[in-house]
Amino acid sequence: MDNVKRQIGYVCPDTINGRITGRGVRAAILDTGAYPHPDFKGRVIGFADMQHGRCGLYDDSGHGTHVAGILAGDGKMSGGRYAGMAPGVELLIVKILDEKGEGNAMHILRGMEHVRKVNKKNKIALVNLSLGAGVGLDPVKENRITEAVEELCNCGITVVVSAGNYGLQSRKVSVPGTNEKVLTVGAYRRSGMGRYCSGTGRERICVWKPDIFAPGEGIVSCGYEAVNGESCFQRKEFFPYIRKSGASMATPVVTGALALAKSKYPELEGEELKRYLLKRCGRSLRVEQLLA
């Protein structure tokens, strides 16, 4: 995370003195779940499992835990070295993907519906979707997912979605990152904006995706990884921090930055928060500009 923060201008007066940490902001992560990592202690406000219906917080993949660490880990187990973007954020964890990081439309839709229900009592400012549908998704299911994402946006929630990992040459962006209302995040490599990991392309007239790019290569964050083909949940093996790459990792970098902005400017929400980010940063995330 140190390298990521250097690339995006994270070090500024508000982050140096700890005045802005995302405290008071609630974000939902729809992913493979999350291991009860010490770096999230006391800040998980709820958990729902759309895959297996379990009650206790868990992650049988490691993907969701890594994403949560990038967004909101406090880095205590690393002496702060691997702290996430917004270590004061409260998290709603919704498991919609299985141990392989895969999920069907039903689980995704149920997860979004759960966020809408929770939002009525506990205001959710942000939703992180580090996922994208594969090629050949049924058009009916694609439309249902897109409509569900729009409903979240219409609730005043800023929805942040991965552009996917098709690569620049593919000219493809994953659903639901194609939706105009969501904030779609692409990943770039350490060498900078000249080398994208994510696809880019025009989805419709005047709509170009991704909206913004952030680092997505070799990010170290909270871990709980599978070993020798067995899930870590079965083996109960704990790896405090691991390294992953992809647009899935770039997405919570941006979600965390939005949480910082929301914490400083609480009147911003939904589309306003998205537009504020793009106005201040353009297509490359810069936290110092966001919090100026």
- Tell me which of 130, 174, 248, 263 is the catalytic residue: 248
**291 and 260 Cβ atoms separated by less than 8 Å:** yes
Containing structural domain, residue 47: 2-290
- Alpha helices by DSSP H, listed for 61-174, are 63-72, 105-121, 139-154
Q: What is the largest CA-CA distance in the chain?
A: 50
Q: Quick one: tokens of 147?
A: 């409509």
Residues 96, 111: Cα–Cα separation, whole Å: 6
Is 191 in the active site? no
* Residues in CB range of 140: below 8 A, 6 or more apart: none
Cβ-in-10-Å burial (0-12, 13-18, 19+) of 280 comes to: middle
Peptide bond into 13 cis (omega under 30): no
- Tell me which of 37, 61, 63, 78 is the catalytic residue: 63
Residues 76, 35: Cα–Cα separation, whole Å: 16
Confidence of residue 103 (pLDDT cuts 50, 70, 90): confident
Is 248 in the active site? yes
188: domain CATH number is 3.40.50.200
Is 66 in the active site? no
Q: Structurally, how many domains does the chain consist of? A: 1
- Which pLDDT tens digit goes with each residue over 248-290? 999 999 999 999 999 999 999 999 999 999 999 998 999 999 9
Confidence of residue 26 (pLDDT cuts 50, 70, 90): very high
- Tell me which of 31, 49, 60, 211 is the catalytic residue: 31
